Structure 1
Amino acid sequence: MGVVIAGLLGAGSIPSVLSPSPDGETGPPLVVLAVDSLLGLVVLVAAIIAWRSGSRGAIRVVAGSSIIIAITALPALFVDVPPWVKVMVAGVTLATIVSVVLMMSPSPRPAALPERVTVR
């Protein structure tokens, strides 16, 4: 489930380079938007690979790239931006944390079946 959440967040980051901040408004620099778009593409591709193959390496790439995207959004919490932007950044950061925890948690192991007892 964490891979799916991260994949959706990564897909949402891909078009960020297409909407830079207008001149005179507070917003992320174009280089940050470009890095987020590139990392969003990496997250999406690695999430597809992780989903299909279960590769732990791909899961680590998804987690690491997702964390970097979240870190680049954190400065929005400390500057003068509209409150809805701060709420959105907080929500995406929380969703990233949840997805990374889900991806990095060991998968549940099936309970051992009790041995059959035969009565003679």
Structure 2
Amino acid sequence: MELSRVNKAGLVIAFLLGLSDIASAFSPTPDGAESGPPYAILLIDAVLGVITLVAVVWAWRTGRRGAVRIAAGARIISMLTALPAFFVGVPAALQFAVGLFVVVTIASVAMMLVPSRRPVPVSD
């Protein structure tokens, strides 16, 4: 299948989100800090980031929808791990950052999964 510009833009955003997930494992929440994800969640997100990167590269090179779906699934699971920030006492700035992450993730997934426009064959 041929990836459209919108699909490719979604893949690029997913790639950047995957990189940020991997980087977050190297900057854990300091001991004694009241806000921030547990280190186990950061490790899970790092694994999901690696899955995202591999799937995005695979989708970009082959155009396979299965790879796009794997990247989208990894992004959705990563987003779900961030949602508890809305239900526990965390600072407003962190909630804003998580909200922005959720919105960007949803946009990325939607862009990756939008069907590419193909011309309808005309039969005689």
Give TM class, smaller chain. 0.7 to 0.9
Is 1:36 the counterpart of 2:45? The answer is yes
2:76 to 67, 74, 78: 67
- Do residues 21 (structure 1) and 29 (structure 2) align? yes
Deviations 1:23-47 (A, max 9, x none): 2222211111101011101101111
Rounded to whole Å, the distance in 1 between the matches of 2:71 and 2:16 is 11
Unpaired segments of 5 or more residues in structure 1? Answer: 114-120
- The one-letter code sitting in structure 2 at the alignment partner of 1:54 is G
Higher relative contact order, structure no. (Cα contacts within 8 Å, ≥ 6 residues apart): 2
2:17 to 4, 9, 14: 9
2 CA distance for matches of 1:62 and 1:87? Answer: 24
Return the index of the structure with the highest Cα Rg. 1
Measure the CA separation in 2 of the matches of 1:30 and 1:90.
Answer: 20
What is the CA–CA distance in structure 2 between the aligned matches of 1:73 and 1:109, rounded to whole Å?
36
Shift of 1:21: 1.4
- The correspondence for 2:95, drawn from 86, 91, 96, is 86
State the Cα deviation string for residues 53-101 of structure 1 (Å, max 9, x = none): 1111110110000001000011112222222211111111111111111
- What is the percentage of aligned positions where both structures have the same residue? 49
Match of 1:49 in 2: 58
Does 2:116 correspond to 1:102?
A: no
Partner of 2:3: none
Q: TM-score with structure 2 length normalisation?
A: 0.83
The two structures have a TM-score, normalised by structure 1, of 0.85
Runs of 4+ in 1 over 6 A off after TM superposition: none
Q: Deviations over 1:1-52 (max 9, x none)?
A: 2111111111111011112212222221111110101110110111111112
Aligned residues: 113
C-alpha root-mean-square deviation of aligned residues, in Å?
1.6
